[in-house]
């Protein structure tokens, strides 16, 4: 049994294997894009807020220092509130 037989393409249709695989990949990519659009339409504004807070957290951690510890606590609180929505 060849690799192609194992994939279900068979020897007689082996030369179609790459085309069939490409079709499945294209289908899955299209589905991913449609899902991304739906999630963006439904959750986009909320995800933007989450992303903004995460960027602020990373920035505050890079800057460090005692002054930033309180700022980080506030940012983590903000993130927790968003994730509980």
At residue 59, the pLDDT reads 86
**Shortest CA distance to 1 belongs to which of 21, 16, 19, 10?**
10
List pLDDT tens digits, range 24-78. Answer: 999 999 999 999 999 999 999 999 999 999 999 888 888 876 667 788 888 899 9
SS (H, E, C) the chain: CCHHHHHCCCCCCHHHHHHHHHHHHHHHHHHHHHHHHHHHHHHHHHHHHHHHHHHHHHHHHHHCCHHHHHHHHHHHHHHHHHHHC
Q: How far apart are CA 85 and CA 79, in angstroms?
A: 10
Task: Please report, for the chain, the start and end positions of each structural domain, with discontinuous segments joined by +.
Answer: 3-84
Confidence band for 1, pLDDT divided at 50, 70 and 90: very low
């Amino acid at each position: 049994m060849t690799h192609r037989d194992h994939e279900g393409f068979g020897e007689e249709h082996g030369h179609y294997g790459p085309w069939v695989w490409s079709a499945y990949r294209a289908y899955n990519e299209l589905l991913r894009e449609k899902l991304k659009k739906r999630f963006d339409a439904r959750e986009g504004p909320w995800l933007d807020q989450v992303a903004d807070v995460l960027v602020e957290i990373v920035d505050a951690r890079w800057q460090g220092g005692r002054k930033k510890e309180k700022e980080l606590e506030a940012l983590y609180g903000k993130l927790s509130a968003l994730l509980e929505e």
